[in-house]
Amino acid sequence: MYFVYVLRNPQGRLYVGFTTDLERRVRQHQEGEGGWTHSRGPWELVHFEGFTTRAEALRRERNSKRGKTNQELRERFSGVR
C-alpha cells in the first residue's frame, strides 16, 4: 500500500508527502528527520489517502503540491497558509 499524507504544524503550514509506511514516516517528521520539515514542527497528521499503485500515489502527491488541488487543501484545513 502507498500513502499520500498531509501534515500541519502549529503555524498552519502544510506538508504533503508520499510513503509506504505512514506510521514510520510521520514519526520521522516528528523526530526532525526530513529536509524541509525538520525545523518547522511539531507536525500533526491531518489527512491521508491509500493507493494500490505507486504511480497513483505519486500522481496524487504531485497534484496536491500545485495549482487547484493545493488551494483546495488549504481551504479544507482552515487556518492553513
Instruction: Name all domains of the chain by residue range, CATH numbers in brackets.
Output: 2-76 (3.40.1440.10)
Note if the pTM is more than 0.75: yes
- Distance from C-alpha of 31 to C-alpha of 34, rounded to nearest angstrom: 9
Task: Give me the pLDDT at residue 69, please.
Answer: 67
The answer to whether residues 50 and 2 touch, using CB atoms and an 8 Å cutoff, is yes
State residue 26's pLDDT score.
95
pLDDT, residue 24, reads 97
For the stretch 25-81, pLDDT in tens is 999 999 988 788 888 889 999 999 999 999 999 999 998 888 666 677 777 775 544
Main-chain dihedrals φ then ψ at residue 6, nearest 5 degrees: -125, 125
pLDDT at residue 75 in the model: 76
Which residues make Cβ contacts (< 8 Å) with residue 33, sequence separation at least 6? none
